[in-house]
Amino acid sequence: MKLFRFGPPENERPGVMLASGAHLDVSAFGQDYDETFFATDGPARLAQWLEANAANCPNVPGSVRRASCVKRPSKIVCVGLNYAKHAAETGAPVPAEPILFFKSTTALCGPDDNVVIPKRSEKTDWEVELAIVIGKKATYVSQDEAFDYIAGYALHNDYSERAFQLERGGQWVKGKSADTFAPLGPFLVTKDEIPDPNKLHLWLRVNGELLQDSNTDDMIFNVPMLVSYISQFMTLLPGDVISTGTPSGVGMGLKPPRFLQPGDVVTLGIEGLGEQRQTAVAFS
């Protein structure tokens, strides 16, 4: 099943894309895609509800804004330097254990929203990533049982302001958390449709130029390892997002480095998880 959300910010509603390609408004189901939805077996209940009700659901026009595919979760946990070539391009050593950092949940936005270059930013950069959406409260989970705790997967662009991240002291969170720095979607694809998340092609273009082109099989720490690992340090709640790191080809790794300017267009995708398109605009 492919779950999406749509409508204007602050008034977003749930939808389902059927195998036929139809986009249904499932507001009548009565629940948005939030912690409660995932904690109560929402995807299975929604699938069952659709059997009786799909014919009465209105279609969502293609012109309507797509929102983040999950409602604001308790946290977005990100993994740093999880692809060896990306670690090399940043000049950092390959980590012995996953590097974790948080991204503000207020950074979430829709997959085709403009990316707003923050005030005083000169180094706004892109990062195509596979995101995991948690389906069940996870504390001290083993790698063997990790898939039981996953609801599905989504495409994420982990936008990063490199000066805020690396030159202003302290943690990376300052460079990761501006509004619109976390476009998530277009869909949450339930895990039954993605048999192997550790083998998915992912790519990103800026103004049509292919800059990131890799596969999740190049990740240093794979999907079940990351769910298990993170759950040793914190409880993951249903709906929480784990972003699994980006491959090489980010702007700071180019020679010379390249960062987004107003008017630049970023397109990206992951096999089976759809595509995104953002236009960079100045903060106003």
Find the shortest distance in angstroms from Cβ 158 to Zn ion: 3
Say which DSSP state 88 is in.
H
User: What does DSSP assign to residue 71?
Assistant: -
Q: How far is the CB of 155 from Zn ion (least distance, A)?
A: 13
Which residues are at the interface with Zn ion (CB under 5 A)? 127, 158, 246
Residue whose C-beta lies closest to Zn ion: 158
- Shortest distance in whole angstroms from residue 78 CB to Zn ion: 5
**Smallest separation (angstroms) from Zn ion to the CB of 139:** 24
C-alpha 126/C-alpha 264 separation (Å) is 11
> Which of residues 7 and 98 has its CB atom nearest to Zn ion in the complex?
98
Distance CA 156, CA 131 (A): 6
Could you report how far apart the first and last alpha carbons of the chain are, in Å? 38
Closer to Zn ion by Cβ: residue 34 or 102? 102
Select 190 or 246, whichever has its Cβ closest to Zn ion.
Answer: 246
Residue closer to Zn ion by CB (options 53, 90) is: 90
